[in-house]
Structure 1
Amino acid sequence: MSFEKPAVVIDNGSYSIKAGFASDNHPVSMFRTVVGRPSYLKGKYGREAYEVFIGDNAMANLEDLELNHPVQNGRIVNWDNIERIWHHVFYKELKVAPEDRAVILTCSVTSPIAEKIKSCEVFFETLNAPALCVQSEAVLSLYGVGQTTGLCVDIGHDTTTVSPVYEGGLVQYARMQTNYAGAQVSNILKEILQDRKYNFDIKCETIIDDIKRMLYVTPDCAMSRWNYQRIYTLPSGENIDVSQETFMCGEMFFQPNLFQVDKTKYLSLQEAIVTSCLKCDAELRSDLYDVIVPCGGLAVVPGLSNRLADELESLVKRPVNVICSSESYVTTWLGGATFAGLSDSKKMWINKQQYDDYGAKIVINKFV
């Protein structure tokens, strides 16, 4: 399926949304996946006119807004708000009409077919898009590094998911989750800082996000940390030492039991990957270990990819190839842009005429 204009690629993340044109090598727009409405309304929307704040504008007006996160654990939970975000993407961020652009939309590996059907309904019936393709984030992450077979290690905000992909198809039964991701990092940081008598009130989320960007992983947790000092300046101007916190939260990806009494709560990253590979056919495991692709916002933590390779090689007693990138946070989006340009991808698209003729049936046929 050929299009006169470059397709729009939209990567729906629980923390941030990435959007741009398939002809580009980087998203045009990245902003928080959040919608804010005036708090004085107290949830009674529709009775009077009010302004809706989206993305970073909502985060900048925290004091006056009630925030809603329409994507949680990779699933769309509020369709009215995600529709507002998509509308905002086209008209405010990309400045194009949705009826002029085919769309590649990412979905979580856990997304049910009902979510894909509803997405098609919104894009075809509300936004009037001419064509739509819904693809798994794990599959597109492999395309983003030029591969079709390998392991996607998605370290996101709500979940960390290990997903094997073979020849462009998701091996669903071998998927694993560690239960430790960005949200858990935030909660741990909050608890530790509260124990240190720091309470940040309304600005807490912004401060925690800033400290999370200072996370790091060492090659050996036993090594001296004096060279890894992290100092954070509070809005008040006070400097606090967060070296221990940033070290601990990074180390928990590999040794969650080091800091947790409940030893069944979290799974280490390397154990999740090995378990996922063991669930696959023996003939496939070698190919999976040769292409391990970390992606997501926390995949860019300094030292994480190298430490992951060391831990895996220690477990499986063979070389592994962890493909690290400074732009791991947009790997999925890049995969969508790559996918849009492939001639073989045309059979995966649904155009508006097909949707009008067959409705949900063609969505099930194409995207299951």
Structure 2
Amino acid sequence: MSFEKPAVVIDNGSYSIKAGFACDNHPVSIFRTLIGRPSSLNGSYGNKYYEVYIGDDALSQDNLELSQPIEKGTIVHWDNMERIWHQVYYKELKVAPEDRSVILACGSNSNMEEKIKCCEVFFETFNAPSVCIQSQSVLAMYGSGTTTGLCVDVGHDTTDVAPIYEGKMIAYAYINTGLAGSQISDYLEKCLSGRYILSDFKSPLDYESIKKSCLYITENCAVTRNNYIRKYKLPSGEEIDTSNEAFMASELIFQPDLVKGEKTGFVPLHEAIVNASLKCDPEIRKEMFEAIVPCGGLTMIPGFNNRLQVELEYCLSSPFNILSSSEQYAVSWLGGATFAGLSETMKIWVQKKQFEDYGGRIVRNKFF
């Protein structure tokens, strides 16, 4: 099977959707995975006409009830997810879905029922000619030029450490640390609201913006604070000092119990990587360490890769290699674009006729 037109590649992230074509080296569109409806409806969505706002548009409007269709890597609201995919095809990529095969990057913990439902939507609603579903962790390896290694996906509401061997995830060795971007946002909010009277500001604090502009990670946490002053400028022009919060929030990734001052149940990232590798067969651990692939939005925090290198050097006696990239936030999407172009992966795709004939059975056979 070969594609007459480049396949559509969609990375279904909890925080943002990345979409584009398999012929490109960067997503065409990246927007928030959000649906906004007027809060005045009070859930009575079918009774009268109303406008639905999608993605970043939902954030720019007032008095909206916001919904995230993906939570912790799992699709929880299918109608809203379908609207987002509709937005991808018709407004972002401007292509007819029946003309393009599609590859979906799903969460590492996505179950078979979710994959079958995705196929139903794309075949029956969008009339796609063929569909392929792979985990974000697997595709991140392809996006880094390998098929075996440890994927470290630090996202908005999950942090997944997934060993991948020859393009397949070793499910029994998968570890979720329990801490991700949403917990860091909560920590920032708690600390800043405790230090400032937020009602005194003319503009509300945007904690996601503070994360992007202020956070950093040092190789050695015993640093001179004067070298790391961080200030955040509000839209109103007011400035607040976020030096302490920016430092401590990032340290949560590697020292959650120390930062919180209590037992959190979160697994430090470097420990999760070591534990995941120890769950794998000893014969393949050396190969795993040859490609440790960080991906996800939080891995773009300045200093992340250097700190991970330092922490793993303390934990591991064997050599290892971190495959860093300037586009770690999109490496899973890039892997999907690479995967769609490989002739040896064509047998994994599900054709529309196959799904009509065999239903969920063909999905179980292809995407085990």
Q: Structure 2-normalised TM-score?
A: 0.97
Letter in structure 1 aligned against 2:48: E
**What is the distance in 1 between the residues matched to 2:360 and 2:288?**
34
**What is the distance in 2 between the residues matched to 1:328 and 1:97?**
29
**What is the distance in 2 between the residues matched to 1:46 and 1:271?**
49
**What is the distance in 2 between the residues matched to 1:162 and 1:347?**
27
The aligned residue for residue 211 of structure 1 is: 210
Unaligned runs of at least 5 residues, structure 1? none
The aligned residue for residue 353 of structure 1 is: 353
Q: Is the 8 A contact 1:186 1:208 kept in 2?
A: yes
Letter in structure 2 aligned against 1:251: E
Q: After TM superposition, list the pairs within 5 Å mapping 1:75-90 onto structure 2.
A: 75-90=74-89
Letter in structure 1 aligned against 2:51: E
Letter in structure 2 aligned against 1:175: Y
Q: Give the % identical residues.
A: 58
The aligned residue for residue 220 of structure 1 is: 220
Letter in structure 2 aligned against 1:88: Q
Q: Is the 8 A contact 1:300 1:325 kept in 2?
A: no
The aligned residue for residue 147 of structure 1 is: 146
Go from structure 1 to structure 2 and tell me whether the alpha carbon gap of 1:184 and 1:98 turns closer, same or farther (over 3 Å shift).
same
Unaligned runs of at least 5 residues, structure 2? none
**What is the distance in 1 between the residues matched to 2:152 and 2:85?**
26
Q: Which runs of 4+ in 1 moved over 6 A?
A: 200-203
Q: After TM superposition, list the pairs within 5 Å mapping 1:60-79 onto structure 2.
A: 60-61=60-61, 63-79=62-78
The aligned residue for residue 19 of structure 2 is: 19
**What is the distance in 2 between the residues matched to 1:349 and 1:223?**
51
TM-superposed CA distance for 1:212, in Å, is: 0.5
Query: Are 1:344 and 2:344 matched, yes or no?
Result: yes
How many residue pairs get aligned? The number is 366
The aligned residue for residue 335 of structure 1 is: 335
Q: Is the 8 A contact 2:203 2:235 kept in 1?
A: no
The more displaced of 263-272 and 214-223 is 263-272
Go from structure 1 to structure 2 and tell me whether the alpha carbon gap of 1:226 and 1:18 turns closer, same or farther (over 3 Å shift).
same
- DSSP 3-state at the match of 1:133: strand
Q: Is the 8 A contact 2:157 2:180 kept in 1?
A: yes
Q: After TM superposition, list the pairs within 5 Å mapping 1:202-351 onto structure 2.
A: 207-213=206-212, 214-351=214-351
**What is the distance in 2 between the residues matched to 1:131 and 1:92?**
21
**What is the distance in 1 between the residues matched to 2:197 and 2:142?**
44
The aligned residue for residue 122 of structure 2 is: 123
Q: Is the 8 A contact 2:251 2:259 kept in 1?
A: no
**What is the distance in 2 between the residues matched to 1:267 and 1:20?**
34
**What is the distance in 1 between the residues matched to 2:9 and 2:228?**
38
TM-superposed CA distance for 1:20, in Å, is: 0.1
TM-superposed CA distance for 1:327, in Å, is: 0.5
Q: Is the 8 A contact 2:8 2:102 kept in 1?
A: yes
Q: After TM superposition, list the pairs within 5 Å mapping 1:102-141 onto structure 2.
A: 102-141=101-140
TM-superposed CA distance for 1:318, in Å, is: 3.1
Q: Is the 8 A contact 2:142 2:338 kept in 1?
A: yes
The more displaced of 269-278 and 313-322 is 313-322
Go from structure 1 to structure 2 and tell me whether the alpha carbon gap of 1:48 and 1:203 turns closer, same or farther (over 3 Å shift).
farther
TM-superposed CA distance for 1:225, in Å, is: 2.7
C-alpha deviations, 1:304-325, integer Å up to 9, x for none? 1111011101111233211111
The RMSD of aligned alpha carbons is 1.4
TM-superposed CA distance for 1:264, in Å, is: 4.5
Q: Is the 8 A contact 2:203 2:234 kept in 1?
A: no
Q: Is the 8 A contact 2:108 2:137 kept in 1?
A: yes
Q: Is the 8 A contact 1:74 1:108 kept in 2?
A: yes
Letter in structure 2 aligned against 1:177: N
- DSSP 3-state at the match of 2:307: helix
**What is the distance in 2 between the residues matched to 1:83 and 1:203?**
34
Go from structure 1 to structure 2 and tell me whether the alpha carbon gap of 1:264 and 1:188 turns closer, same or farther (over 3 Å shift).
closer
TM-superposed CA distance for 1:178, in Å, is: 1.2
The more displaced of 252-261 and 49-58 is 252-261
TM-superposed CA distance for 1:203, in Å, is: 7.2
Q: Is the 8 A contact 2:305 2:324 kept in 1?
A: yes
- DSSP 3-state at the match of 1:236: coil
**What is the distance in 2 between the residues matched to 1:363 and 1:281?**
28
C-alpha deviations, 1:15-51, integer Å up to 9, x for none? 0000000000000000000000111111110111111
TM-superposed CA distance for 1:261, in Å, is: 3.3
Q: Is the 8 A contact 2:147 2:166 kept in 1?
A: yes
Q: Structure 1-normalised TM-score?
A: 0.97
TM-superposed CA distance for 1:249, in Å, is: 1.1
**What is the distance in 2 between the residues matched to 1:115 and 1:199?**
41
Letter in structure 2 aligned against 1:230: R
**What is the distance in 1 between the residues matched to 2:202 and 2:99?**
41
Go from structure 1 to structure 2 and tell me whether the alpha carbon gap of 1:210 and 1:264 turns closer, same or farther (over 3 Å shift).
closer
The aligned residue for residue 180 of structure 1 is: 179
- DSSP 3-state at the match of 1:163: strand
TM-superposed CA distance for 1:199, in Å, is: 2.9
